Amino acid sequence: HSEKDDESASVFAHLALYLQPDMTATKFLLAGINADHKQYREALSIYNSIAKSDENYIEAQYEIVDIYEETERFADALSLLKILSAKDDNVDTIIKIGNLYRHNEKFKSAIQYYDIAVKKLGGKIPENYWYLHYVRGISYEQSDNWDKAEKELKAALALQPDHPYVL
């Protein structure tokens, strides 16, 4: 998309929020445009305006984590994810903590959180969480544990035989 399209979308989003300030989808649109243009302060302000009672609150918090990660604020991202994890006990939050560690090449810590996620999933990774096999496999490989890496990557391949990441 072009910068001109973003400008038009931004104008209309501001107008929509002026008329109806609680439009969460519009807030996400506007915050996303700001983040795309590296206007992180504005994006963070919008994401932080989404109420805890809003059904999209956790997603907004994940977007904040992504901005923190993009701006190399690892400690802030980790702190926010740990706060969210303590409050909502959501397996996706646990996986995001593992991903944050993995992205920062702290593979052993990543594996610890991926293992916690597997326990929360009942000890067996369901098909819709195939990605967990993949990221655990990467983390094991980077930790020089090829046997476990191979097992995880083969499990991911069994669930997603045509996925380009797994291939």
Per-residue pLDDT at 19: 79
Per-residue pLDDT at 1: 53
Mean pLDDT of 6-30: 79
Specify the higher pLDDT residue, 10 or 132. Answer: 132
Phi and psi at 37, nearest 5°, equal: -100, 15
Q: What is the pLDDT of residues 32-65, one digit of tens each?
A: 999 999 999 999 999 999 999 999 999 999 999 9
Rounded Cα gap, residues 32 and 55, in angstroms: 18
Q: What is the pLDDT of residues 140-164, one digit of tens each?
A: 999 999 999 999 999 999 999 999 9
Per-residue pLDDT at 123: 93
DSSP the chain: --HHHHHHHHHHHHHHHHH-TT-HHHHHHHHHHHHHTT-HHHHHHHHHTS-TTSTTHHHHHHHHHHHHHHTT-HHHHHHHHHHHHHHH--HHHHHHHHHHHHHTT-HHHHHHHHHHHHHHTTTS--GGGHHHHHHHHHHHHHTT-HHHHHHHHHHHHHH-TT-TTT-
Per-residue pLDDT at 139: 98
Report the predicted TM-score, pTM, of the whole model to 2 decimal places. 0.86
Nearest to 31 by CA among 51, 5, 50: 50
Per-residue pLDDT at 10: 77
Task: Tally Cβ neighbours within 10 Å of residue 36.
Answer: 12
Mean pLDDT of 8-19: 74
Per-residue pLDDT at 159: 94
Q: What is the pLDDT of residues 110-120, one digit of tens each?
A: 999 999 999 99
Q: What is the pLDDT of residues 49-108, one digit of tens each?
A: 999 999 999 999 999 999 999 999 999 999 999 999 998 889 999 999 999 999 999 999
Per-residue pLDDT at 26: 87
Mean pLDDT of 16-29: 82
